[in-house]
Amino acid sequence: MPVNLLDIQKKLNDFSSQAQARRQKLARRQEEIINLIEGYADRLDELRDRVARAVEHYPQLRCAVPCGEALDAVIPMPDLPARFTVLAADGSQINPSRHARVEFCVINVGLVKMMRGSGMTPEVKTISQLLDYDALFLPAGGMITEGMVALKRDLQEREALLQISENLRPPAISMTDGPLELYHEPRESAEFTQTFEKYLDVLRDLSERGLMISGYVDKPGSDLIVRLLELVHMSDEDLASPGQYRRRFGGVRDISLMQGLLNSPGDRSALFAIFSQTAMRYGKELLPHFFYLNVGGAGKPHLARVEVPGWVARDPEAVGKLQAVLMEQAAMMGTRPYPYILHRAHEVAVVTLPEHEHVEGMIVAEFQRRGIPVDEQSYKQYHKDLPTGKTRYQG
Amino acid sequence: MNDEKSEIMELGSQGNSGEIGYIVGGGLKANLQARLSVPAQTVQEGAFVVIESGGWLFYGLVTDLQLGSTDPRFADEQSEARLPTQLARMLHGQTLYTNLEILTALMMEQGPEPGTEEYDAWYQQVLDEQIRPEPVKTVPQHHAQVRLAQAGDIAEIFGKEGKGAFFRIGDTLEGGHPVCVDLDKLVQRSAGIFGATGTGKSFLTRVILSGLIHRDKTAVLIFDMHNEYGPDDTASDTGLRVPGLKNKFRNKVRMVGLGRGATIRGEQPDYTLEIAESDIAPEDVMMLAQELNLRETTPTTLEALRVSFGHESWFHEFKHMRVNAYQYDEEGKRYPAPDSVAAWAESAGVHPAAAEALHSKLRRLFNAPYIVEEPAANALKQMIDNLDNGQHVVLSFGKHETDLDYLFVSNLLTRRIRDVWERRTNDFRSGHQGASEPRPLVIVVEEAHKLLNREMASQTAFSTIAREMRKYYVTLLIIDQRPSQIYDEVMSQLGTRVTGWLGDSDDIHAVLTGLAGREALRGMLARLQPKEEVLMLGWGVPMPIVIRSRRYNEAFWDDLLGKQAGQSNEQIMKELGY
Amino acid sequence: MKQIAIGRLLRSGTTGFVVGCRVNQLDAPSFGALVRVPLASNYDVYGIIYDIHIEDDGLVRQLITAQDVPEEVLLDNRENRNVPVEIAVLALGYQQDERIYHLLPPRPPLSLDAIYLCTMEEVAKFTAVGRFGYFRHILRDPSRPIDELLAAHLLAARTAHEKVGNTRWYTDALTELIALLRDDYQSLMTVLNAAGEIE
């Protein structure tokens, strides 16, 4: 049934007023933080002390930690290397559903390898994994969750990178969509731990090959730097009772702080390390660091957040190459900058509905061939799937 | 184009009659329409075509050719310029076409295959006229095949040359197949030969006359106004010598000159003709009313003369009356002399002025040297005898070439001769002892419009003959270039008409008078080729046909007379008139 | 027997069907080509490709807005990214038990396993049967580009016939076309103009 637009219309005024008020509030906070950044730009040790102190009171603290570059540093993009290799991996999945005729799960990873300056056609590969039937069901009962599948997918994306990164010729850069950190519920299950360990192994292997891995976050919403600066004004009491503490700069995002700084295409911000309980598990070499990068064109800045492992972060030259390569990749998409190779990987990975149906059909056929009974589609699902539009064959 | 035409002709001559088209529409009333399947230039108006359908053969003439297209744009646009040649040709083959309009006249049951026994028997039946073409009563089917007529088709319809009365008068336009006319049938009704001046009427007439004379079933009396037929002539355009009937037929043909001492082209005629005054009847004079510009009072005056002096003397008496002859009496009063016109008029109760006017108008007749009181011989009787005895007479007018002479003499003679024939016919019919059937006679007159126009229609012997339709074994063969001036009642009585090109639409209309549904032929008449082509139609001709007329030359004479080489004495004697 | 890799049947009916394919450019089927679809044993549907179009590709559109496109990116697009193609096929007839009919197939495809580009021999055989009855399927819908379609078809079929030694086919086909389109001046002239190009 159609949405009752009249109901919506009535609320619009109020809604907009609220938004406006919030905007204004955040703008004030933003201004304050920017002043703080200016003030504390070089007082890095002080900030680091603050963090150390805060974590004693509040172990769950999660914020950015400056590495050595001033808070308001702006580092321009160096020249692009003449030849380099750039890799990207992206994954998509078919989540199991009890509404379908059969329960199955597919993780599909797309890989692209481009050797810039070689004049050769980039290599494109798809790796599709049908999860073990057994793996679909949890020991405690119930089916594997979407979150768990996503986790497996993240792991497989990096494992896939391993597959095409043999005999790499430096410099070699890889990117995946999203942060390097695995952020998935349930964090503390045994399953998660197992997966996480594997993930770290893979990252290590990739590093050993000299591959500069990175995670690319478009339209970043994190506020790690804001949280760092909040610590400046927090008293010990505040720190001790984080539940009651009303965040001073809540709602402001890091990106709004960086936007005023990174004006020229290719400019990057200072490098920050991610400080959190989970981040600690990565170890020094692999600890996720990040910086902001302006991938937009002249006069039209567009900021992305790039995560890199510790060993890359400590190598300014490496970071510079990464910066240049990312910039080039994003520029390829013209008016809407986004790394081309990452988009391609996504394109290769994506599972269309017909493909979904085709795979389901394959499984159903095999089951039927073997005499394994196949359920009906749930009626709920059936009716959901009915085509709403009408298409008649008219040549 | 010539290649295509000769290809068609070749097909015809091989007896492999190629289809030229197929029926697509039309009907009985409105003529048939056929789609042409060969190039348009190979078929002409007037072509004689045969349509085979349902066991019948339909014979017709092509009366029109029309260009058509399935869509007018195909005709408008010159796609030859836009498309490759081959493609354009294929396109035009299916979208541009020519339609024939065919006037069907006859239909006949189709015989068996030529070359079989049945065919010979069937053909014999055709010749014996047991199987004959009949007027069309139905139409052929759609897509019936149309082909050009072959020699055999022509012979089936028009007769085979040499057989019986069939005389070859010309050839078809397409294929040059011989076309015959039935001479006996030709003279069973009065007939006409028409054509504008210079279209070769006289040559055609010579051909026909030669045929008639050679056939010898009918006596021919020719009023040779311009000395074209009897004596040898010279063709005005080629300057070649044209043999005359006298030359070729010798004693079969008697040349008669008008007036004592008359010569014909410097030669002596066989005999001369003088007209006795006693032969002239009042109606002979009345006939000249227009020519002499006679008044309305003339009939009265003539009648008075006849009453006064009798049938045989009135002319003589009137001739010798004096005008402006006065005498004076005692008192010196003037009065008409007794031998004057005025005197007689008074005595006869006729207005003197009228009588005097008539007298002065008849002066030309009075002065005619060939009108005498006592002719040297009874040439008229001799003419009649000749005609009776199987000879033919050509009357030459010599130096008496005026219309007056021609009108007067030919009418008078015709009247007299016709009277004789009438008497003989009545005797024969009533079984009078010793009376034999009169020999059919055809009288050949030129400039017929002078003799047979509306004004004179009631007065001449010619119109009487025309109307009588051979009641008394006499018919006319009129030759004229202005048929529109001939009284249409007379025209409608004509049987066969053979006409060359006519320029005047009234003339064309006149030639077709009395023939039903011949509108289609009007255009054809106007488009005949002068000097070559004639259209033959009417009673006596199975169906209208356009032919290329036979040439009147030495070859013609060889053809006609050559067969007489080695004839028997009997035949020679007969030819000599014995 | 060149098989066109196909994706799936998009729409089908008695008069034809539309197929979605992912095709490498070199193997792309051509407009006007004859295809054969086996639907059952002894039952093949024959059709002609009357429309090929390439679905909108957002990525390519975006790439165009960039200042210059590196060579590797160009190569990637040309060789790796399969072009999503929609092939529309008009049914022209069918073969049942070795006999070819130029009538609409009694059963349209409901699912497809494969489509094959007809070989020269198959083209010659299909188009030689009867008297060009299949033309009327092509001519039926004037909203299609029948002139171009016919010209493309004539060219291909002529070649096929010449190969098996039949030089008359082309002339006969044109004659039949002219007869069929005689009353439609516009269409006929467009078809002939297109045919004139291939002379």
Residues B263 and B287 in one domain: no
**Cβ-Cβ contacts under 8 Å, C179 against chain B:** 94
Are B487 and B454 in contact by the 8 Å Cβ rule? The answer is yes
Are A215 and A89 in contact by the 8 Å Cβ rule? The answer is no
**Please, which residues bridge with residue C98 across strands?**
none
What number of H helices and E strands is found in chain A? 14, 9
Separation of alpha carbons A19 and B173, rounded Å:
105
Residues B264 and B292 in one domain: no
Question: Is B168 within a domain?
Answer: no
What secondary structure, in 3-state letters, does C112-144 show?
A: CCCEEECCHHHHHHHHHCCCCCCHHHHHHCCCC
Domain of residue B353: give its range.
Answer: 279-366
Residue at a domain's end among B323, B347, B366:
B366
Are B244 and B233 in contact by the 8 Å Cβ rule? The answer is yes
Separation of alpha carbons B178 and B277, rounded Å:
50
Judged by CB atoms within 8 Å, which residues 11-50 of C form the interface with A? 11-13, 15-18, 50
Separation of alpha carbons B187 and B439, rounded Å:
12
Are B87 and B95 in contact by the 8 Å Cβ rule? The answer is no
Separation of alpha carbons A334 and A330, rounded Å:
8
Are B147 and B20 in contact by the 8 Å Cβ rule? The answer is yes
Question: Is B352 within a domain?
Answer: yes
Question: Is B196 within a domain?
Answer: yes
Which of B35, B89, B95 best probes binding to C when mutated, by most C CB atoms within 10 angstroms? B95
Separation of alpha carbons B500 and B549, rounded Å:
9
Residue at a domain's end among B342, B366, B390:
B366
Which of B35, B77, B90 best probes binding to C when mutated, by most C CB atoms within 10 angstroms? B90
Sequence spans of domains, chain C = 1-118, 120-199
Sign of CA dihedral A267, A270, A271, A275: negative
Helical packing angle, A340-349 and A316-331, nearest 10°: 70
Question: Ramachandran region of residue C116, left (φ > 0), alpha (ψ -120 to 50) or beta?
Answer: beta
Separation of alpha carbons A41 and A267, rounded Å:
18
Q: Which two tokens stand for residue C2?
A: 């060149």
- Could you write out the DSSP letters of every residue in A224-285? HHHHHHHHHH--HHHHH-TTTPPPTTTT--HHHHHHTT--STT-B---EEEESHHHHTTHHH
Total structural domains within chain B = 3
Identity of the amino acid at A215: G
First and final C-alpha spacing in chain B:
57
Across the interface, of A332, A347, A393, the residue whose CB is closest to C12 is A393
- Residue A116 to residue C70, Cβ atoms within 8 A: yes
Question: Is B167 within a domain?
Answer: no
Residues B545 and B421 in one domain: yes
**Cβ-Cβ contacts under 8 Å, A340 against chain C:** 63, 73
Per-residue confidence of chain B (578 residues) as pLDDT tens digits?
444 444 444 444 434 457 899 999 998 888 899 999 888 888 888 888 999 998 899 999 898 899 998 888 888 888 788 888 888 888 888 888 999 999 898 998 887 877 788 888 887 777 677 777 888 899 999 999 999 988 888 888 888 888 788 889 898 887 888 999 998 888 888 999 999 888 888 888 989 999 999 888 889 999 988 888 888 887 777 778 888 888 888 888 999 998 888 888 878 888 888 888 888 888 888 888 888 888 888 888 889 888 888 888 888 888 888 888 888 888 888 888 888 888 888 888 888 888 888 888 888 888 888 888 888 888 888 888 888 888 999 999 888 888 888 889 988 898 888 888 888 888 888 887 778 888 889 999 988 888 888 887 777 888 888 888 678 889 999 999 999 999 888 888 888 999 998 888 899 889 888 776 677 788 888 888 877 889 998 887 888 888 888 888 777 888 887 754 445 556 656 656 65
Separation of alpha carbons C141 and C130, rounded Å:
22
B9: distance to nearest CA of chain C, Å? 29
Kindly report the number of other CB atoms within 10 A of residue B483's CB atom. Answer: 29
- Residue C66 to residue A334, Cβ atoms within 8 A: yes
Residue B341, judged by CB atoms within 10 A of its CB (0-12, 13-18, 19+), counts as: buried
**Cβ-Cβ contacts under 8 Å, C65 against chain A:** 333-336
Residues B102 and B235 in one domain: no
Pairing type for strands B253-258 and B392-396 reads parallel
**C73 near A CB under 8 A:** yes
Touching pair C, A by Cβ (3+ pairs < 8 Å) = yes
Residues B140 and B74 in one domain: yes
Residue at a domain's end among B109, B143, B158:
B158
Residues B431 and B497 in one domain: yes
User: Which of A222, A182, A178, A179 has the alpha carbon at shortest distance from A198?
Assistant: A182
Question: Is B547 within a domain?
Answer: yes
Helical packing angle, C169-181 and C120-128, nearest 10°: 50
Which of A118, A121, A360 best probes binding to C when mutated, by most C CB atoms within 10 angstroms? A121
Separation of alpha carbons B447 and B435, rounded Å:
35
Question: Is B292 within a domain?
Answer: yes
Question: Is B174 within a domain?
Answer: no
Please write the tens of the pLDDT for every residue from B331-354: 888 888 888 888 888 888 888 888
- Residue C11 to residue A391, Cβ atoms within 8 A: yes
Please write the tens of the pLDDT for every residue from B543-574: 888 888 888 877 788 888 775 444 555 665 66
Residue B13, judged by CB atoms within 10 A of its CB (0-12, 13-18, 19+), counts as: middle
- Could you write out the DSSP letters of every residue in A307-366? EE-HHHHT-HHHHHHHHHHHHHHHHTTTTS---HHHHHHHHHH---HHHHHHHHHHHHHH
Going by the DSSP 8-state scheme, the letter that residue B340 receives in this structure is B
**Cβ-Cβ contacts under 8 Å, C59 against chain A:** 343-344, 347
Residues B222 and B312 in one domain: no
Going by the DSSP 8-state scheme, the letter that residue C80 receives in this structure is I
- Residue A393 to residue C13, Cβ atoms within 8 A: yes
Q: Show which subunits contact B, needing at least 3 CB pairs below 8 angstroms.
A: C
- Residue C76 to residue A332, Cβ atoms within 8 A: no
Taking CA atoms, B35 is separated from A333, B1, B19, B58, C184, in Å, by: 70, 19, 11, 16, 21
Across the interface, of C175, C182, C196, the residue whose CB is closest to B70 is C182
- Torsions phi, psi of B362, nearest 5? -85, 5
**Please, which residues bridge with residue B135 across strands?**
B106
Judged by CB atoms within 8 Å, which residues 97-136 of A form the interface with C? 112, 114-116, 118-122, 124
- Residue C185 to residue B71, Cβ atoms within 8 A: yes
Judged by CB atoms within 8 Å, which residues 102-131 of C form the interface with A? none
Separation of alpha carbons A138 and A218, rounded Å:
34
Question: Is B172 within a domain?
Answer: no
Q: Which two tokens stand for residue B111?
A: 């015989």
Please write the tens of the pLDDT for every residue from C163-182: 888 888 998 999 999 999 88
Output the domain CATH number for residue B215.
Answer: 3.40.50.300
Q: Scan for tokens 């990207």, then name that residue.
A: A88
Identity of the amino acid at A161: L
Identity of the amino acid at B557: W
Residues B204 and B317 in one domain: no
